[in-house]
A and B are shown apart, each in its own frame.
Chain A
Amino acid sequence: DGGITQSPKYLFRKEGQNVTLSCEQNLNHDAMYWYRQDPGQGLRLIYYSQIVNDFQKGDIAEGYSVSREKKESFPLTVTSAQKNPTAFYLCASSPGAGNTIYFGEGSWLTVV
């Protein structure tokens, strides 16, 4: 099936640890995105990438890092510098900027 796959669905992190959320798409989309969603709030852009080996910071990039070594993959690392990482993380992709964005099923990250 074509789509966007995020893993893991649920992840628990101890304070001081880095964790990496995986995002893979087989839609042959050029652009990929990471959003954070907190309860009762809208989507906030963390990072985005419009082409392989290039990415830009979004509105809330501090404490996060990404890489885009392959077109189909855009992993997000939540570093220990992110002070409030507990949230629902959504990966998305689109054929290119300005096109419809399609989302994965999300990953829940909880700090314990």
Chain B
Amino acid sequence: GESVGLHLPTLSVQEGDNSIINCAYSNSASDYFIWYKQESGKGPQFIIDIRSNMDKRQGQRVTVLLNKTVKHLSLQIAATQPGDSAVYFCAENMAGGSYIPTFGRGTSLIVHP
């Protein structure tokens, strides 16, 4: 089956730096993408989503970029803080219908004070 993957399993940054977490997807029919943050021992939290009719979407300190040509998704976190340390993973989905989303393995973001 088609899958979602992440390029970097671990990303270490200094507090205040910008972080970029990448995700590749292979299902060209996917039209809805979601980023989640999972802190240790907790359930994943929704961060931001984007639909395929958009290339960019911004939230509070986070931006998601979608490049449908190369089937690539990225999450940018501005001014990274120690509280941002977590595992981040993306999910690809198809709005409507009965499609069940698939999830990537995740990237561990470590923010050093």
Given contacts A42-B105, A97-B98, A99-B95, contact A105 B42 (CB under 8 A): yes
Whether A106 pairs with B42 at a CB distance below 8 angstroms is: yes
A98 at the interface (CB under 8 A from B): yes
Number of interface residues of B (CB under 8 A): 25
Whether A98 pairs with B45 at a CB distance below 8 angstroms is: no
Query: Which label, helix, strand, loop or mixed, suits the secondary structure of the B interface?
Result: loop
Whether B46 pairs with A42 at a CB distance below 8 angstroms is: no
Contact residues in B for A105 (Cβ distance below 8 Å): 42-43
A-B contact number at CB 8 A: 52
Whether A42 pairs with B43 at a CB distance below 8 angstroms is: no
Q: Which of A43-51, A64-72, A75-83 contacts B (4 or more CB under 8 A)?
A: A43-51
Contact residues in A for B98 (Cβ distance below 8 Å): 50, 97-98
Which chain A residues have a beta carbon within 8 Å of chain B's beta carbons? Answer: 4, 6, 33, 40-43, 45, 48, 50, 58, 88, 90, 97-106, 108
